[in-house]
Amino acid sequence: MSTPLLLEDFLKQKLPSSDRIHLRTSVLPTLLNSITSVAQCLRDSQDIQAAGSQNTSGDHQLNVDLATNDIIHAAIRTCPSIISASSEEDEGENAVQHNSNISPHDSTQEQYSVAFDPLDGSSIIPANWSVGTIIGIWDSSTALNQRASSKQVAAILGVLGPRTTAIVAIRLPSSPDSPLCFEVGLSSSTQDILVIRENVQFKSAEEVKTRYFAPANLRAAAQDAAYKKLIEHFIEKEYTLRYSGGLVPDVYHAFVKGHGVYVSPVTAKSKAKLRVLYEVAPIALIVECAGGRAVDPATGRDILEKEVRDVDDRSGLVCGTREEVDMVVRMLRGQ
C-alpha cells in the first residue's frame, strides 16, 4: 500500500509551479486547516444551544454556527490573495480585513473570493451525526454577478464525523478539460494534510453493483405526484437509501461509493431552500470534476451555468452520476 502524498507535494505535481502559486501554497492549505479547527471546535463544544439570533436567510443560529464562522474568517484574514469573503452566517459579501502583519496583496497577481457555509447540517448536530463545511473559491475579487462555470475554480467539501476528511475539486480556465478531484485526511494532531485518494471519480454504469439514493424533503412526495413517483421508482428498482438529513454527508457518501443521486426537489409548496453561493455551486463543481452532473430540478439546467447575483439566491439540487441525474430530471418533469 503506497504512502499518502502530502498535499504540498501532490499539488506541485498537478499544478504548474508558475501558475496559481497562491492557490496552491496559501489558499487551499489555509482553508483545509481551518476545517480541522472547525472539527476540533465542534468536538470541544459539549453544550450545543441556540445563540438567540438568525442569519440573513432566517435560520436560527447555534453557538457553534457563530464559533465556526469566526474560525474560517480568522483563517481567511491570513491569506493576502483572498480579497473578499462571505458566509451563510454573514450579511453579504465583504472585503477581507487582513491581519496587520500580512503584506499588502499585489493586485496584478491572483485574486480570490471565498464563499462558505461553516457548519452545514446544524439541525442534526444535537444527535451527534456527521455534518460538514462547504467552501467555494472564485477567481475574482467578488463571487457576485459571476457565472460559476467560468469563475468558480475550486471547491471543498469537508466532513466532520468520526474522521475529518474533505474532497477538493480544482478546475482552472487554463485547463478546463483536466480537472482535479481528490480526497484529503485532516488531523488536529498534525499540520500535515494527506492526500488519501488522488482521483475521486464516479463509477461507470457497468461497474455499479449497488445503487444509492438520498431523497431530501421526503414530505414533498405527499405534495407532488412526480416526486412521489420518483420515490416509488427507487423502491421498485431496489435502490439503497442513504439519507441522514445532512447535505454534506449524504452527497459525500456518493463520492465514497462511486455512485448515488441526491435529490432536493422544488414543488409548489416546497420552495427552493439551498443557497447557490454557499452550498449548491461548490457541490456542483466537485460533482462535475468527479465525472457527475448537478442540475436545478426546476429547469433541468446545469447548476454551474447560473450567474450568482445575490448571496441569498436559492435553488433545488439533483446531483450524482450522470445517468441517474438525467433520469431523475425526466421523472420530476413528468417525461
Domains located in the chain, CATH noted: 5-197 (3.30.540.10), 205-332 (3.40.190.80)
Query: 44 to each of 31, 40, 47, how far by Cα in Å?
Result: 20, 6, 9
The whole-number average pLDDT for the span 175-182 is 92
pLDDT at 54 over 60: no
pLDDT in tens, 138-152: 999 999 999 999 999
**How high is the pLDDT of residue 57?**
60
- 268-317 pLDDT, tens digit per residue, is 888 888 999 999 999 999 999 999 999 999 899 999 998 899 999 999 99
CA-CA distance, 204 to 1, in Å (whole number)? 25
Q: Is the separation of the CB atoms in 172 and 153 below 8 Å?
A: yes
Contact predicate 279/313, CB 8 Å: no
The C-alpha cell that represents 48 in the structure block: 450545543
Work out whether strand 112-120 and strand 82-87 pair parallel, antiparallel, or are unpaired: parallel
pTM for the full predicted model? 0.94
Q: Which residue has the higher pLDDT, 169 or 124?
A: 169
Query: How much is the average pLDDT of 245-254?
Result: 96
CA gap 214, 318 in Å, rounded: 10
CA 277 to chain CA centroid, Å, is 10
Residue 80: per-residue pLDDT: 94
Rounded to an integer, the average pLDDT of 97-104 is 84
35-49, 144-158, 246-260, 318-332, range with the lowest pLDDT: 35-49
Strand extents, DSSP E, 97-163: 112-120, 131-138, 146-147, 152-160
Q: Give residue 62's pLDDT band: very low, low, confident or very high (50, 70, 90).
A: confident
Does residue 107 register a pLDDT over 70? no
What mean pLDDT comes out for the span 13-30? Answer: 90
Nearest 5°: the CA angle 203, 207, 213 is: 65
| Confidence check: pLDDT of 241 > 90 | yes
Contact assessment for residue 260 and residue 215, using Cβ atoms and an 8 Å cutoff: no
Q: What is the pLDDT of residue 108?
A: 65
Q: How many CB atoms lie within 10 A of CB 262?
A: 27
Of 37, 250, 218, residue with least CA distance to 124: 250
